[in-house]
Amino acid sequence: MSTSLVILREQAGHETGSHPENSRRFPGVLNRLGEDSQRHGLPILESREATVEDLLRAHTESHVENVRVAAENGPTWLDGDTVASPLSYEVARRSAGAALVAVDAVNGKAAEGTATTSSFAIIRPPGHHATADRAMGFCLFSNAAIAARYAREALGIGRVAVLDWDVHHGNGTQDILYDDPGVLFISFHQWPLYPGSGWLDETGVGAGRGFTVNLPMPPGCGDREHIEGFQAIAGPILDQFDPGLLIVSAGQDGHVADQLASQNLTAAGYHALASASADFASRKGIGLVALHEGGYNPNTLPLLDHAVYAGLGGFTPDLTGDTPAPELEETGWPERLAQIRRAQSVFWAV
């Protein structure tokens, strides 16, 4: 396996002040992953600006214009959680563009010497809460949905899968792709938690029915439960769907030391999820793109992203100093897994 980084040098231009999603999240990440890249001889790619046409693959014209105007007149609160400052529109377009660079990199469209089997885009603002016509939950544009539609419409990839392991449900990605049978959306997320969507009976509509797979996980779930969910549900469904590209919405905010949720994942758990995703993509002979979503503890995020990057690239991570997870005897996960299996058995062999 070979992997690359896509970096967004302009990320600090999306100025959010003391907001949890701020420009202080990534300097430590980029230092740690830059060292990894140099040590293992892995390429680092630069973001590009997504065109308006790219954005319109997932969003309405009015939404794109609303974000542009809000940023121009910013700082402006688009909802109770989401702020746009004067450079936010440009940075958000480059965040989406970095996702497209990553898609190109794993599909033979990158510059000579930079093509890889996987690519990890370190980007903000995140995207998975932005719906077709609304910014919300720290997110302006849906990077994963834009990338999925780009892969299908511009590169001709017939089936694309989006796997979201952010601790919050990817309601925006789901909303945009809910009726699309060409894109499989699978979300691991804590339930109940913001934004309140993602129950197991949300499975798609119309031609897209069966192509949305939600794994609402009880609070307190950690490495064991997430890996079991991948092995029992996500992996078999991905195998049956047989995508030509796998996109991961990689939010590391389910970590035991992250302040915005109540899950107990460790760096080892994120490494296992990334390794399982990379193994699947390798076995299928397809590209894998990981797009950064949540993760709001700047002290732990460099280690967690290092664990993900190592899983994508097939090298051994140094997980020294990780916060240990508590040992919980009961989370309600076995019962929830059985519920998920029943809901998905209508559409898939699980």
Q: What was the pLDDT predicted at 203?
A: 98
**Domain ranges, ordered by start, for the chain:** 3-344
Residues 6 or more apart whose CB falls under 8 angstroms from that of 67 comprise 78, 84, 88, 89, 92, 135, 140, 141
pLDDT single digits (tens) 190-216: 999 999 999 999 999 999 999 999 999
Task: Supply the pLDDT for residue 40.
Answer: 96
pLDDT tens digits, 145-168: 999 999 999 999 999 999 999 999
Nearest to 255 by CA among 193, 305, 330: 305
List, by residue number, the catalytic residues.
129
What's the rounded Cα separation, in Å, for the pair 311 and 307?
6
| Position 48 confidence tier, pLDDT thresholds 50, 70, 90 | very high
Burial class (CB in 10 A: 0-12, 13-18, 19+), 227: middle
Determine the pLDDT at residue 329.
78
Q: Assess whether pLDDT exceeds 90 at residue 110.
A: no
pLDDT at 248 over 80: yes
Tell me the angle at which helices 88-105 and 61-72 cross, rounded to the nearest 10 degrees: 130
pLDDT of 314 over the 90 cut: yes
Asked if pLDDT for residue 112 goes beyond 80, the answer is no
Q: Is the pLDDT of residue 1 over 90?
A: no
pLDDT of res. 115: 85
pLDDT at position 200: 96
Mean pLDDT of 263-287: 98
Per-residue pLDDT at 113 exceeds 80: no
* pLDDT-derived band at 328, boundaries 50, 70, 90: confident
Q: Where are the beta strands (DSSP E) in 73-227?
A: 76-77, 83-84, 118-122, 160-164, 183-190, 212-217
Percent pLDDT > 70 in the chain is 100
Answer whether residue 93 shows pLDDT above 90.
yes
pTM of the model: 0.98
- 3-344: CATH homologous superfamily? Histone deacetylase domain (3.40.800.20)
For the residues 344-348, what does the mean pLDDT come to?
98
CA-based torsion, 273, 142, 216, 158: positive or negative: negative
Q: What is the pLDDT of residue 22?
A: 97
Check whether 114 has a pLDDT greater than 90: no
Q: Among candidates 321, 239, 337, 323, which has minimal Cα distance to 286?
A: 239
Q: What is the mean pLDDT of the chain?
A: 97
105 has pLDDT over 80? yes
Tell me, what's the pLDDT at 125?
98
Q: Compute the distance between CA of residue 65 and CA of residue 224 in angstroms, rounded to an integer.
A: 44
Residue 278 predicted with pLDDT over 80: yes
pLDDT recorded at residue 240: 98
Work out the burial of residue 44: count CB atoms within 10 Å of its CB; fewer than 13 is exposed, 13-18 middle, 19 or more buried: middle
pLDDT at 190: 98
pLDDT bin (cut points 50, 70, 90) of residue 138 is very high
